[in-house]
Structure 1
Amino acid sequence: MAPTLVAVAATQSWGQGATTSAMGGTITDKAGEGLPGATVIAIHTPTNTQYVAPTNSEGRYNIQNMRVGGPYTIRVTFVGYQETTREGVYLTLGQTLRMDVNLSEATTQLQGVEISGRRDPVINAGRTGAETTVTREQIQRLPTLNRSLNDFTRLNPQANGGGSSSIGGSNNRYNNITIDGAVNNDVFGLAGSGTPGGQSGTTPIALDAIQEIQVVVAPYDVTLGNFTGGGVNAVTRSGTNDFSASVYGFGRNQNSVGKSVTEPRTKAEEFYNYQTGARVGGAIVKDKVFFFLNGEIARQSTPLSFEPGTSTSRIRTSTLDSITNYVRNQYGYEVGEYGAINVRRESNKIFGRLDFNLSQNHQLTVRHNYVEAFDDNNSRTSTSLRFGTNAYKFNNVTNSSVVELNSRLGRYSNKLLLSYNRIRDTRGVQGDIFPAFEITAGANRYTFGTERSSAANELDQDIVEVTDNVTAAFGKHTLTAGTHNEFFKFRNLFLNNGNGFYQFNSLANFYAGRANRIQAAYATADNGEAKFSAAQLGFYVQDQYSPIENLRLTGGLRVDIPVFNDKPAFNQKVVDQAAYARYGGINTQNLPGGQLLFAPRLGFNWDVNNDAKVQVRGGTGIFTGRVPFVWISNSYTNSGIIQGSVDVTNPASVRNGNNQPVVLTDISQFPSYYAAGAARTTQVNVLSDDFKLPQVWRTNLAVDFRLPGDIVATVEGIYTKTLNDIYYKDINLADPIGRLAGPDQRPVYSSSTGGTATLPPRRLDQNFTNVYLLDNTNKGYRYNATAQLQKQFTNGLSTTVAYTYGVSKEINSGSSSTASSNWGFNQIQFDPNNPELGYSRNDQRHRILATGGYTLRYGGDKFATGISAVYEGLSGAPITYLYNRDLNNDGSTGNDLIYIPTDVRDPNQIKLAASEGRDLATVQNQLEAFINNDPYLRSHKGQYAERFGARMPWTHQVDVRLTQDFNFMAGGKKNTIQLTFDIINFGNLLNKDWGHQYSLLNNATELLSVVGTSAPNVQPTFTFPSGFATNNRSYDIAPFNSRWQGQLGVRYIFN
């Protein structure tokens, strides 16, 4: 009788960020009875690291904190029974390999080891929610242009492949990203990528340093926390007893990019983008001490798209020349270049790791990662242009250190993780500090002067993390108890409009010096800096219980406690304002500290027939996330004590001795000079007295089937209900004074901030411009439904196809870093302080994902040719239609959703005016054509537009990687020269009309221009900008990303 070994992959709790794998199972005799006292030895062959575990009274064993990967050799021994050995076992990040062994008595003749069962990332006993693991082989073989984590997190069906790194329809600020188990989020919340240094355009770590990546959406392990979106975890590579190294380079330029997709078709302007690096790993002391090093540099110079004077831009160079000459003559200031502009981006990365086998039961890891990067920030669209002086350079330096100790003592195992991140961000401006000017002329917008958020902008972050998890196996129970704690220290200098900001609503008014709004900020104490420290403490306990062989239950409770050690400055004027009493205890020192945020969770996995062919899994529970600390920092910066501001919304009242409007270029004069037109007021940010961190209740249910041909089919549904999300109000905004006339009956506020003889004031308290209250709402939900097929072939071919339908609705997308923007740009139909539930900017809707790859080895393994591809089909990014000015007089421009008229020629539906040299009939015809060309507008006539209710067209993109390996022997060891060619947007290489991508600034279109001012009982008049009539669409075909792009890679691998 042959001993039988059954191996099935099973997800184990991967802690705050998994860095290891595990094994477990049961050792039985021929009768199926457990064998207590049997010994299981797992040997990690590359390092000769040994993991030993005895079985308990039921014959069960459990080995925690094992190295990821392999190969492993597994040996099972018991007195009086034949030893069983299996080689070539590999372990996956964050998963437990279930290996059950049936031993034969020593007197039985051994016929060979019979292996049944399989390692399977989907049908396994521990999986409950949606997750995706990306192996080292996938990282090496799949196409990647940016060599970033986001290129591989998109392989999760619930992720948004549009580059936003959104998971499950949530804001990417609500994700938790860890590397080697340590927090690697941009916890302050400024970077679009969600990672440190993201604003400089760099990745947090070189891709060659990564071993595996894991994405989880609905894990019910309570050791996982600090996210309400998704969790992304990566583990780094380590050295082995065998010396290995690689040098590599990847690059592309204008010669590896297709022509423009619109007529006239032109070649790409000159640019370059390359990365080059090297890695090396090996043993310092054989079997005991190992090292791994990686260094990489990246250099990029890229031309800006939408160059004025070309077919991609709607902006005339004659207008730009006129602005340039006027500013030079009037203010003695050079606005900077506007033509062909190349922006640079550079980064340097160094990674080092040491691994110590202290003993058979103790392994220590120490690693450090250094990143230095900068990015020249400038951008433009077909209708907006920033002159050269409005650009800035973003600089970042990040140091990240991790120490991890994994220990095993009998049935107990312990993981201790310590980390420290030091992040420094600064901005460098172009030329001398000068006020920012923004001119809106119809659909076009022009900006010059120092970028208004960059004149005083610095951020220091210091983050310390302490995690300790203890796991113990007791029969059918595996118990875990632990704590995860993060300690933060911040210094944030941010004077928005610190250089002054002038807004003009026409070119004529700009040349006449008639601004329609003037804003400025200045420091009144502490240099205007916000300095504070905080912590988020987490404690948890969990039981993983298997009452029967084919059913596993996981239940646990997590408690998170936010702590703030420093309070914002106290502002007595805010506390004394009686008008704010209806919003509760308003105090500038309110903070969400000391709360106990409970998160119970329950998950299950049921192998229906105990044959790994039909699996039902799921769970339900509460997830608590972090709030981006920039939202909290706003209360420190804008307490009304350390910063002051000027906001003049009626600049006509600010005149000089000649009774002419005044435009100042000396920003030091702003506070005193403009006091004549508006009191020296300030913006204040406060938090609700019971503000809570984000929380959601998430439930998922899935069924996995093993179909004929070993195809695994999955049907999965995930529903997320908002418990606590963000909700902004301007509590200094007075009640509306009436409603508009006509079909659009939205409320209208006073057009006078301080009041006149005929109008009440818009501000309740004239000491303040706005008082923004950050509160919670429980309105909102998200759901995703996924159908997926996966197949792994033995000949090197692997495929997956997935379709996901998702909907995400919320009150506020939280897409900005400031309270004024999160409130002011949150599109509304009626009341800005009570916004409607609307679609999220991260609403995904339809997504199709397919991957495939094949490698052919030939010539006696001297050659290998591979091809892999990723297809992604998206139903188009959401967009919003707005009015271009402050229609309802709430003090915010560009946040009012349009009313969609049923008949553009009916003045009772919409009053249009002739404009830009067009008569009324032409304007009406052009607007009608635009509405009828847009599926959303066409089907919602007579209604208010919904926030992000419309969508751009579907996009289809195929990325391909071709790989050619040349293998040869050198020094008695195999060496490889590898050539790769990545083709991004391969369809466009085949046909210029395929693979088009689309872009729209802020995903919003100011479709109708307001003529004059709004008042109660008056039907407003609008114009339709002529620029939108050209193509009857507001979005652009992305001129660069719509082209195919190729990247050549060369790598030499030696041992």
Structure 2
Amino acid sequence: MGDVTIKNLTNGGRIAFGSDEYRHANSLENETLTFKFDGTYLYEDHSIKFGLDYTNIDILNLFVNASKGVMEFDSLANFEAGNVGKYTYQNGIGNDSSIAAADFNRETTALYVHDTWEFSDELTLDFGLRYEVLGSDDKPLYNKNSEARTGYDNTENLEGISILLPRFGFNYTVSDDLTIRGGIGRFSGGSPNVWISNAYSNSGVNLGYYRAEDFTTTPTAGNNVITSIYGPAAEAINNAEADGNVNLTDPNFKLPSDWRYQLAADYNLDIPGIGEDFAVSVEAIYVQKIDQQWWVDASLQESDIAGKTADGGLTLYNDDDRRYDLMLTNSDKDGKSLILSASLAKTFDNGIKFSTSYTNQDITEGHGGTSSTARSNYRYNVGLDRSNPVVGTANYQIEHRFVMTLGYEAEFFDGYATNFDVFFERRSGKPFSYVTNWDDFGDYNDPWSMLSPGFYAGNYLPYIPTAGDSNVIYTDNTSEAEVLARIEEAGLSGYAGGYGPKNESRTPWVNTLDLTIRQEIPGLMEGHKGSVYLTVDNLLNLIDSSQGKVYVNDFGTSRLYKATIDPTTKKYVIDGVKNDSPAFDAPESAWRLKIGVSYKF
């Protein structure tokens, strides 16, 4: 069954059913071979470690979205009559999804040396150098049409790409109570192989694409577009020429990396009248990101630019070939991270122990790279122009996080410990961005062919109108007053005449209190021991049902208003406001109790 959506219900909602488009053909197999050699050479006050690390991964990645068909019906009546508003289908040539699987090999070879120098009784110095080089014997299938559109050969496989990673650290014991430590280094890694695999599975040679709008079918129980592929679509893919949409890798791609700077201090603190040897730690980490990942449609040229929106903010295109060439490249604007933390901990002789900490994060990025596919990474990153990154607050930044633990251990039964532990956390909400809900309505079409040719969804920061704004047209479904009131409610009035910011809004704060009680019990045989335990997650909600509630924004966006762009005047046409409030997360908001037994022997 395909992915089906019925829009424009009488209550304003929609019905969605069938198999999700991204689950139609989706599987992954990896086979990994690792070889590692490590050595240590001791010379005077130096401990020199060196080695080689080799990893070989055989990857078989099958991902063909919409291989069972994705369709939209503009109303329930159209659904009953078989009138399809939009239909999308893609598959391997010959309607065989396995043909489009990415089957390739990746190698990583790393050489490293690390010197730990005991410079003195108080000071230890660390020097390190790591060299990594990537390789592959496999290349994506060549697509001459893609090279004609973009000027790039799509067979780039990152053979021989390398990076040098120097590092330095120190640990200085100032006194019996104070230690200062820190370091600087360049780090790389963590970029998913699936980003590279997109070029193999979407070469445009092995995958066909079909899209149609506003057609009528005569559905029967055994033959309909919902449970069977639309006939013309299947025929088109069966006879498709090698000229589909393409994913490719920039021949000048550099491995993303970051420079990290860290400084920390550990201090044993005496508090008169309370106790001695409180463990205090403070730490600052600064990260400067370099050559972060970015995706562009390399087929869009200067000649495809048709102008700007009336306010001059958004680039508009005139490109009707329905082809895109999404290239993995590097961003020319990189983010940063500043993470500050402090902690205090103490264990008392009477069995009481506690710790508390605070962490502050200030993290920015141009692209989080949160998807496995080039298509989603390209169209769902929040910004203004998909060719130019907007650096803003990172998707997963937690600006403030307070944590406290309190525990007590005693032996109410000789030889068997009883533990009471409480964990409390208070953290700020996750960032999200207000975006424009681009759509079609009335006599207006949706603006995607102008904003992002070949795509029909994405996240664009909203234009914030002023009163009497000449760049905006309001339809009969809304009014300027209603839109400006919604903007005021969202806290965006200060951006009037420009665009809303990236990830400056937050979901509500989260408070969590958990309790664990554990009692050791005798074992059945000598040397055996068991325990029974009780855990209550979200104890706050058990005490007071109005507490411990969690509200989330799963995709990091909230629609501000529904709009399109007038193709003649290039003005924004606003058709109504939206209010996507953070969703109540019922499972995380409920208290949970668990009773269990563990046994060790």
Fold shared per TM-score above 0.5: yes
Q: Any idea what SS the aligned residue of 2:251 has?
A: coil
| Offset at residue 790 of structure 1 (A) | 2.0
Residue of 302, 307, 330 corresponding to 1:776: 330
Q: Any idea what SS the aligned residue of 1:884 has?
A: strand
CA gap of 1:1019–1:960, structure 2 versus 1, over 3 A, is: same
| Offset at residue 572 of structure 1 (A) | 1.8
- The CA distance in 2 between the partners of 1:883 and 1:693, in whole Å, is 33
1:1022 paired with 2:569, answer no
Mapped contact 1:646–1:680 kept (Cα < 8 A):
no
| Offset at residue 656 of structure 1 (A) | 7.8
C-alpha deviations, 1:164-222, integer Å up to 9, x for none? xxxxxxxxxxxxxxxxxxxxxxxxxxxxxxxxxxxxxxxxxxxxxxxxxxxxxxxxxxx
CA gap of 1:522–1:462, structure 2 versus 1, over 3 A, is: same
Residue 882 of structure 1 corresponds to which residue in structure 2?
435
Give the 5 Å matches for 1:298-447. 434-441=1-8, 444-447=13-16
C-alpha deviations, 1:117-158, integer Å up to 9, x for none? xxxxxxxxxxxxxxxxxxxxxxxxxxxxxxxxxxxxxxxxxx
Give the 5 Å matches for 1:992-1003. 992-1003=545-556
Give the 5 Å matches for 1:847-996. 847-862=401-416, 864-885=417-438, 887=447, 889-890=451-452, 891-903=455-467, 906=468, 908=470, 910-915=472-477, 920=478, 924-925=481-482, 927-935=483-491, 937-966=492-521, 968=522, 970-971=524-525, 973=526, 975-996=528-549
| Offset at residue 680 of structure 1 (A) | 8.9
Q: Any idea what SS the aligned residue of 1:987 has?
A: helix
| Offset at residue 815 of structure 1 (A) | 1.0
Residue of 189, 196, 207 corresponding to 1:632: 196
CA gap of 1:782–1:981, structure 2 versus 1, over 3 A, is: same
- The CA distance in 2 between the partners of 1:845 and 1:982, in whole Å, is 29
Mapped contact 1:883–1:894 kept (Cα < 8 A):
no
- The CA distance in 1 between the partners of 2:328 and 2:532, in whole Å, is 53
Q: Say how many residue pairs are matched.
A: 570
- The CA distance in 1 between the partners of 2:87 and 2:225, in whole Å, is 10
CA gap of 1:552–1:680, structure 2 versus 1, over 3 A, is: closer
Alignment-mate amino acid for residue 539 of structure 2: F
1:710 paired with 2:277, answer yes
Give the 5 Å matches for 1:184-583. 434-441=1-8, 444-504=13-73, 515-524=84-93, 527-575=99-147, 577=148, 579-581=149-151
- The CA distance in 1 between the partners of 2:33 and 2:568, in whole Å, is 55
CA gap of 1:550–1:996, structure 2 versus 1, over 3 A, is: same
Q: Any idea what SS the aligned residue of 2:588 has?
A: coil
C-alpha deviations, 1:974-1007, integer Å up to 9, x for none? 5444221111111111112211111224122223
Residue 347 of structure 2 corresponds to which residue in structure 1?
792
| Offset at residue 672 of structure 1 (A) | 6.0
Residue 173 of structure 2 corresponds to which residue in structure 1?
607
| Offset at residue 655 of structure 1 (A) | 6.5
Residue of 145, 160, 163 corresponding to 1:594: 160
Q: Any idea what SS the aligned residue of 1:1002 has?
A: coil
Mapped contact 2:351–2:408 kept (Cα < 8 A):
yes
- What RMSD, in angstroms, separates the aligned Cα atoms of the two structures? 2.8
TM-score (norm: length of structure 2): 0.87
Mapped contact 2:465–2:484 kept (Cα < 8 A):
no
TM-score (norm: length of structure 1): 0.51
List runs of 5+ in structure 1 lacking aligned partners.
Answer: 1-433, 751-761
Residue 1047 of structure 1 corresponds to which residue in structure 2?
594
Q: Any idea what SS the aligned residue of 1:496 has?
A: coil
CA gap of 1:572–1:928, structure 2 versus 1, over 3 A, is: closer
- Give the greater-gyration-radius structure (CA): 1
Percent identity between the aligned chains? 27
- The CA distance in 2 between the partners of 1:490 and 1:606, in whole Å, is 45
Alignment-mate amino acid for residue 58 of structure 2: K
1:726 paired with 2:297, answer no
| Offset at residue 941 of structure 1 (A) | 4.1
Mapped contact 1:740–1:1016 kept (Cα < 8 A):
no
Alignment-mate amino acid for residue 990 of structure 1: I
| Offset at residue 970 of structure 1 (A) | 4.8
CA gap of 1:843–1:1014, structure 2 versus 1, over 3 A, is: farther
Alignment-mate amino acid for residue 287 of structure 2: T
Mapped contact 1:748–1:1014 kept (Cα < 8 A):
no
| Offset at residue 948 of structure 1 (A) | 2.1
| Offset at residue 1010 of structure 1 (A) | 2.0
Mapped contact 1:959–1:985 kept (Cα < 8 A):
yes
Alignment-mate amino acid for residue 636 of structure 1: Y
Alignment-mate amino acid for residue 580 of structure 1: T
1:738 paired with 2:290, answer no
Residue of 311, 317, 337 corresponding to 1:749: 317
- The CA distance in 2 between the partners of 1:707 and 1:992, in whole Å, is 40
Q: Any idea what SS the aligned residue of 1:1015 has?
A: coil
C-alpha deviations, 1:552-602, integer Å up to 9, x for none? 100011001111121111112222x1x523xxxx11210222122100000
CA gap of 1:746–1:472, structure 2 versus 1, over 3 A, is: same
Residue of 570, 583, 588 corresponding to 1:1036: 583
| Offset at residue 901 of structure 1 (A) | 3.2
CA gap of 1:707–1:983, structure 2 versus 1, over 3 A, is: same
| Offset at residue 515 of structure 1 (A) | 4.8
Mapped contact 1:999–1:1036 kept (Cα < 8 A):
yes
Residue of 616, 627, 631 corresponding to 2:180: 616
Mapped contact 2:563–2:576 kept (Cα < 8 A):
no
- The CA distance in 2 between the partners of 1:627 and 1:983, in whole Å, is 37
Q: Any idea what SS the aligned residue of 1:823 has?
A: helix
Q: Any idea what SS the aligned residue of 2:66 has?
A: coil
CA gap of 1:902–1:511, structure 2 versus 1, over 3 A, is: farther
C-alpha deviations, 1:499-550, integer Å up to 9, x for none? 1112356657656656554321121276222211111111101111122110
- The CA distance in 1 between the partners of 2:29 and 2:62, in whole Å, is 9
Alignment-mate amino acid for residue 480 of structure 1: K
- 1017-1026 or 730-739, which moves further after superposition? 1017-1026
Q: Any idea what SS the aligned residue of 2:21 has?
A: coil
- The CA distance in 2 between the partners of 1:896 and 1:981, in whole Å, is 48
- The CA distance in 2 between the partners of 1:719 and 1:744, in whole Å, is 36
- The CA distance in 2 between the partners of 1:744 and 1:970, in whole Å, is 78
| Offset at residue 908 of structure 1 (A) | 3.7
Residue 244 of structure 2 corresponds to which residue in structure 1?
682
- The CA distance in 2 between the partners of 1:507 and 1:896, in whole Å, is 29
CA gap of 1:608–1:515, structure 2 versus 1, over 3 A, is: farther
1:834 paired with 2:381, answer no
Residue 441 of structure 2 corresponds to which residue in structure 1?
none
Mapped contact 2:100–2:202 kept (Cα < 8 A):
no
Q: Any idea what SS the aligned residue of 1:827 has?
A: coil
Q: Any idea what SS the aligned residue of 2:377 has?
A: helix
C-alpha deviations, 1:827-846, integer Å up to 9, x for none? 222x2111211222122211
CA gap of 1:444–1:960, structure 2 versus 1, over 3 A, is: farther
Q: Any idea what SS the aligned residue of 1:453 has?
A: helix
- The CA distance in 1 between the partners of 2:296 and 2:289, in whole Å, is 19
C-alpha deviations, 1:827-875, integer Å up to 9, x for none? 222x21112112221222111122232211123234x321112222221
Residue 844 of structure 1 corresponds to which residue in structure 2?
398
